[in-house]
Structure 1
Amino acid sequence: MIDEVLAGQVDYYRRRAAEYDATAYGDVTAARARIARLVADMHPAGHVLEIACGTGLWTEALAHHAATLTATDAAPEALAIARDRVRSANVTFEVADIFTWQPGIRFDVVFFSAWLSHVPTDRMAQFWQTLRGLLAADGRVLFIDEHVGERGKEAYVPGRDEIVERRLNDGTTFRIVKNFVDPGQLTLDLRQLGWSCTIHRDGPDWVRGEARPTT
């Protein structure tokens, strides 16, 4: 069932790409300023990998700090928008499913925004093991996501605590994974997986985190 939902999740973001900025951020100018501030605070230096780059608003900010930036997404339509938006010489784009992608290199920083909440609970250990294999020595993971306090805005499928139903502007509905971030719980979960993690609130809706392997 989760494999089917994950496939539908990719389809959802492929179909949503053209409307994503307006529906996710509303005021894109204000979002850009907030994103630039957060990225500057997180200092993503060196060789950086961005997972689920979407339409490139975060890619745009990351490119100003990274020596090199590899931006990936499973939705080609979103990646096309990102590629058109960010034309920096230090940025490369690649269509990739992070659960199966093998880049053959390691990164100083792995970054993702609004992606962790789309990872199913039963794949969290696998996902963080994948991240461990992507990091160079002394590397770190940086992430932005939505705080658990925002959970009430979603329409959860009855009996499925991590599956929500989303509707596009054309009325088409999709089911996707959505696990909002509880900072305390995530910190404990990552500790059990061999990571140290610090998480801070940014406004009422977002959290920003940094994680490093400890074992």
Structure 2
Amino acid sequence: MTDEILAEQVDYYRRRAGEYDATAYGDVEAARPLIARLVAQLRPAGRVLEIACGTGLWTEALAGLAETVTAIDTAPEAMAIARDRVPAANVAFEVADVFSWNPGTRFDVIFFSAWLSHVPEDRFDQFWRSLRGLLVEGGRVLFIDEHVDESGKEVFVAGREEIVERRLNDGSTFRVVKNFVDPDRLEPRLAALGWDCAIHRATDRWVRGEASPID
């Protein structure tokens, strides 16, 4: 996986920020109750780190349950929307690249929605090692992502099974990493890396997962 593809992925989400909610969720007001329900099922509490917070719809749900939320994203355009959406005093936003970010603190919970599938295969192990270093003892990683059954909706780049082509409303195209979640594959893979993980179907489209380091 080249840095060029990851840079293109960041550029895509920066440019998509203004149209993200409409293209990802359609009716935002209708999506909010579902998001709140899925987050509540995961039981986030204490000091929460949210990776790839985007426009803040999931941050909004986290803020009502967590003691504090630190929300990071590489796209300042999306974060500006998130800041306006979630002005809660217990939420702090920071533009940061999770692959190089070092907060100097640890969290009770790490949460991400629709982010794990954007982690390249060649950075997967490193990513999960870094998460372990960001958790307190007894901490948990919680995630929501798209089930592998949804892969048919993407246009994969020829010869690049984890690279898809995305198109914005203005017609511009970008290459983006997309590794859909296959629970039967992901659970044993994380077990081999020292994580106890359980993944459940949350909706027709999404799965929800919880992972804890194995001592």
Q: Do the structures match in fold with TM over 0.5?
A: yes
**How far did 1:184 drift?**
0.9
Contact 1:197–1:209 (Cα < 8 Å) also in 2: yes
- What amino acid sits opposite 1:25 in the alignment? Y
- Residue 127 of structure 1 aligns to a residue whose secondary structure is helix
For residue 139 of structure 2, what is the aligned residue in structure 1? Answer: 139
Contact 1:2–1:120 (Cα < 8 Å) also in 2: no
- Residue 145 of structure 1 aligns to a residue whose secondary structure is strand
1:45 aligns with 2:45: yes
**How far did 1:203 drift?**
1.7
1:78 aligns with 2:81: no
For residue 28 of structure 2, what is the aligned residue in structure 1? Answer: 28
For residue 99 of structure 1, what is the aligned residue in structure 2? Answer: 99
- 4+ residue runs of structure 1 moved beyond 6 angstroms? none
Contact 1:52–1:74 (Cα < 8 Å) also in 2: yes
| CA RMSD of superposed structures (Å) | 0.6
- What amino acid sits opposite 1:81 in the alignment? I
For residue 210 of structure 2, what is the aligned residue in structure 1? Answer: 210
What does 1:187-198 correspond to in 2, within 5 Å?
Answer: 187-198=187-198
- Residue 201 of structure 2 aligns to a residue whose secondary structure is strand
- What amino acid sits opposite 2:3 in the alignment? D
* 1:53-82 alpha-carbon deviations (Å, 9 max, x no partner): 000000000000000100000000000000
**How far did 1:2 drift?**
2.3
Distance 1:74 1:46 in 2: 24
Distance 2:129 2:14 in 1: 27
Distance 2:82 2:177 in 1: 23
- Residue 99 of structure 2 aligns to a residue whose secondary structure is coil
- What is the identity percentage for the equivalent residue pairs of Structure 1 and Structure 2? 73
- What amino acid sits opposite 1:68 in the alignment? T
- What amino acid sits opposite 1:31 in the alignment? A
**How far did 1:30 drift?**
1.6
TM-score (normalised: structure 1):
0.99
Distance 2:203 2:44 in 1: 21
- Residue 161 of structure 1 aligns to a residue whose secondary structure is coil
For residue 60 of structure 1, what is the aligned residue in structure 2? Answer: 60
What does 1:133-172 correspond to in 2, within 5 Å?
Answer: 133-172=133-172
Distance 1:130 1:81 in 2: 27
TM-score (normalised: structure 2):
0.99
- Mark the runs of 5 or more structure 2 residues left unpaired by the alignment: none
* 1:23-74 alpha-carbon deviations (Å, 9 max, x no partner): 0001111211100001111110000000000000000000000001000000
- What amino acid sits opposite 1:33 in the alignment? P
- Residue 181 of structure 1 aligns to a residue whose secondary structure is coil
Distance 2:100 2:182 in 1: 27
Distance 1:23 1:14 in 2: 14
